[in-house]
Amino acid sequence: GAVVSQHPSWVICKSGTSVKIECRSLDFQATTMFWYRQFPKQSLMLMATSNEGSKATYEQGVEKDKFLINHASLTLSTLTVTSAHPEDSSFYICSATGNDRGVYEQYFGPGTRLTVT
Amino acid sequence: QQQVKQSPQSLIVQKGGISIINCAYENTAFDYFPWYQQFPGKGPALLIAIRPDVSEKKEGRFTISFNKSAKQFSLHIMDSQPGDSATYFCAASNLQGAQKLVFGQGTRLTINP
């Protein structure tokens, strides 16, 4: 149980375009989802926290107009990188947690590798 | 005060040996301490977690030792195997609050056959 999926697993886009990444909790209701980015050989950096049906809370230094987060249902959150630039190339990982069946641990998705050319 | 300091940065252990990774925190509001294992190109996987009401938790070859007074916790991997070679992250959060995980810097573990 407690499986989180992400789609796509990798994506290449051109500078200036937008990319959407999906995060789904497959077998539990995710009341809260988190989005992280990870640069090579570094730790995970929290970008934002999203609760179902409400606006996301962004960490300091993360541009909310550039990284649009939508948590429309208890099983789906999306991250849209708008007007992507090469410096946005990174590994984006979501995690989910919920009160269903006492699932308060954060379970992570497999990550999405974004390359902006 | 939100930091979690992890050491060592890298660790090489012989097969069958014990791998030990240490973490220290400052925020006494933290009440949940998980360890994650991450393989290259994959998301972190929850390995084992502990709450501050116990000093030790064991699951198979993995043990967390927790010292509340020292604000330190550690991961012990017994009988380390080459398949354990990965990056390990400790983390901490406040389950009564925002539940945001604060991660350590990571330890790259290599188990030599």
> What are B57-74's pLDDT values in tens digits?
999 999 999 999 999 999
Count of residues for chain A? 117
Q: Which of A23, A13, A24, A34 shows the shortest CA–CA distance to A81?
A: A13
- The reported pLDDT for the residue numbered A102 is 53
C-alpha B31: how far from its chain's center? 14
Instruction: Find the chain A residues whose C-beta atoms sit closer than 8 A to any C-beta of B.
Output: 4, 6, 32, 34, 41-44, 46, 49, 57, 91, 93, 95, 97, 104-111, 113
pLDDT tens digits, one per residue of A85-117: 999 999 999 999 876 555 567 889 999 999 999
The sign of the CA dihedral A103, A108, A110, A111 is positive
| Three-state secondary structure of chain B | CCCEEEECCEEEEECCCCEEEEEEECCCCCCEEEEEEECCCCCCEEEEEECCCCCEEEECCEEEEEECCCCEEEEEECCCCHHHCEEEEEEEECCCCCCCCEECCCEEEEEEC
∠ at Cα A13 (A7, A16), nearest 5°?
125
- The mean pLDDT of B1-12, rounded to a whole number, is 92
Q: How far is A31 from chain B (nearest CA, A)?
A: 12
Under 8 Å CB-to-CB from A27, ≥6 apart: which residues? A1, A2, A3
Q: Cβ of A43 and B42 within 8 Å? A: no
Q: Cβ of A106 and B98 within 8 Å? A: no
Q: How far is A93 from chain B (nearest CA, A)?
A: 7
Rounded Cα gap, residues B19 and B66, in angstroms: 16
Question: Looking at the DSSP assignment, which residues form a beta bridge with residue B62?
Answer: B59, B77
Q: Which of A43, A19, A46, A26 shows the shortest CA–CA distance to A34?
A: A46
A43, A105, A113 member nearest B103 (Cβ): A43
Rounded Cα gap, residues B111 and B6, in angstroms: 19
What's the mean per-residue pLDDT of chain B?
A: 94
Q: Cβ of A107 and B46 within 8 Å? A: yes
Which pair of tokens denotes residue B53?
Answer: 């009401």
Q: Which of A107, A86, A87, A100 shows the shortest CA–CA distance to A34?
A: A107
Q: Identify the burial level of B94 via C-beta atoms within 10 angstroms of its C-beta, where 0-12 means exposed, 13-18 middle and 19 or more buried.
A: middle
**Residue B16: is its pLDDT beyond 70?**
yes
pLDDT tens digits, one per residue of A2-41: 899 999 999 999 999 999 999 999 988 888 899 999 999 9
Q: How far is B78 from chain A (nearest CA, A)?
A: 24
